[in-house]
C-alpha cells in the first residue's frame, strides 16, 4: 500500500480562502508593480503628445514609440499576470497541504484521538512546524502510555488492597495502602507533566 506522501495531491485548492487570498495578493502586487512601470513608460509619451508646440517629427516619434510600447507592454503584462497567478497557486498549494494536515491533527486531538505523525511531500512548506507538531504528538503518545500504565498499576494496587482488607493483618493492609499511595504519586507525576496555562 502506498503512503500518502508517495502520490501527488489531486486537489489544487486545498484551503480556498488561504489560496485565493494569496493569489489575489500576488496579483495585486504585480499589478501595482506593472502600473508603476507602465506610468513611468507611458506618461512622458502622453505628455509629449499633448504638447502643441512640439515639432511634428517629435510628436510623430513619440506616437510611434507609444504605439510600439502599447503593442508590446500589455501582452507582457497579461503573460506576467498569468504566470504569477499559476506560480502563486503552486506555492500556496505547498503551504495549504501541510496546514490542512495540521488542522486535521488538531481536530483529532480536540475529539480525544491521538493521531499518527503528519507526513509531508517533497517541496511542501512549513516543514519546521510539521516537525514540531510530530514531536509534540510523539511526546503526547509517550506520556499517554505512561499515564495508562500508572493508572493500571494503581488499579491493581487497589484490587490487591481490597483482597487483604477482609482477612489480612493491619501490617498487610498498611503495606497495600502505602502501595496505593506510591502508585497514586506515580500517576500524579505522569499527569503533572501537563501544566494548564
CB 6 within 8 A of CB 122: no
CB 9 within 8 A of CB 48: no
What pLDDT sits at residue 134?
93
Q: How confident is the model at residue 131 (pLDDT cuts 50, 70, 90)?
A: very high
* Four-CA torsion 160, 165, 168, 169, nearest 10 degrees: 120
Q: Three-state SS string across 66-117, please?
A: HHHHHHHHHHHHHHHHHHHHHHHHHHHHHHHHHHHHHHHHHHHHHCCCCCCC
Mean pLDDT for the stretch of residues 133-152 = 90
What pLDDT sits at residue 135?
94
* Structural domain boundaries in the chain: 1-125, 127-197
What confidence tens digit (pLDDT) does each residue in 24-82 have?
888 888 888 888 887 887 787 777 777 656 567 777 777 788 788 888 888 888 888 88
Q: How confident is the model at residue 138 (pLDDT cuts 50, 70, 90)?
A: very high
Q: How confident is the model at residue 9 (pLDDT cuts 50, 70, 90)?
A: low
Percent of the chain at pLDDT > 90 equals: 6
Cα separation, 161 vs 182, in Å, equals 13
Cα separation, 84 vs 92, in Å, equals 12
What confidence tens digit (pLDDT) does each residue in 72-106 have?
888 888 888 888 888 888 888 788 888 888 889 99
Question: What pTM does this model have?
Answer: 0.60
**In terms of pLDDT, which residue wins out, 143 or 26?**
143
Q: How confident is the model at residue 12 (pLDDT cuts 50, 70, 90)?
A: low
Amino acid at each position: 500500500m502506498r503512503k500518502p506522501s508517495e502520490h501527488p495531491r489531486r486537489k489544487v485548492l486545498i484551503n480556498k480562502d488561504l489560496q485565493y487570498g494569496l493569489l489575489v495578493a500576488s496579483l495585486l502586487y504585480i499589478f501595482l508593480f506593472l502600473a508603476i512601470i507602465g506610468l513611468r513608460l507611458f506618461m512622458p509619451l502622453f505628455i509629449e503628445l499633448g504638447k502643441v508646440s512640439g515639432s511634428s517629427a517629435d510628436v510623430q516619434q513619440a506616437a510611434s514609440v507609444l504605439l510600439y510600447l502599447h503593442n508590446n507592454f500589455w501582452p507582457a503584462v497579461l503573460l506576467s499576470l498569468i504566470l504569477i497567478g499559476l506560480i502563486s497557486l503552486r506555492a500556496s498549494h505547498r503551504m495549504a497541504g501541510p496546514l490542512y494536515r495540521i488542522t486535521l491533527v488538531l481536530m483529532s486531538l480536540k475529539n480525544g484521538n491521538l493521531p499518527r505523525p503528519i507526513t509531508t511531500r517533497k517541496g511542501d512548506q512549513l516543514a519546521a512546524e510539521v516537525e514540531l507538531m510530530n514531536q509534540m504528538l510523539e511526546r503526547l503518545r509517550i506520556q499517554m502510555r505512561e499515564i495508562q500504565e500508572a493508572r493500571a498499576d494503581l488499579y491493581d494496587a487497589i484490587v490487591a488492597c481490597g483482597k487483604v482488607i477482609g482477612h489480612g493483618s493491619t501490617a498487610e493492609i498498611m503495606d497495600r495502602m502505602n502501595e496505593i499511595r506510591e502508585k497514586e504519586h506515580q500517576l500524579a507525576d505522569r499527569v503533572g507533566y501537563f501544566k494548564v496555562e
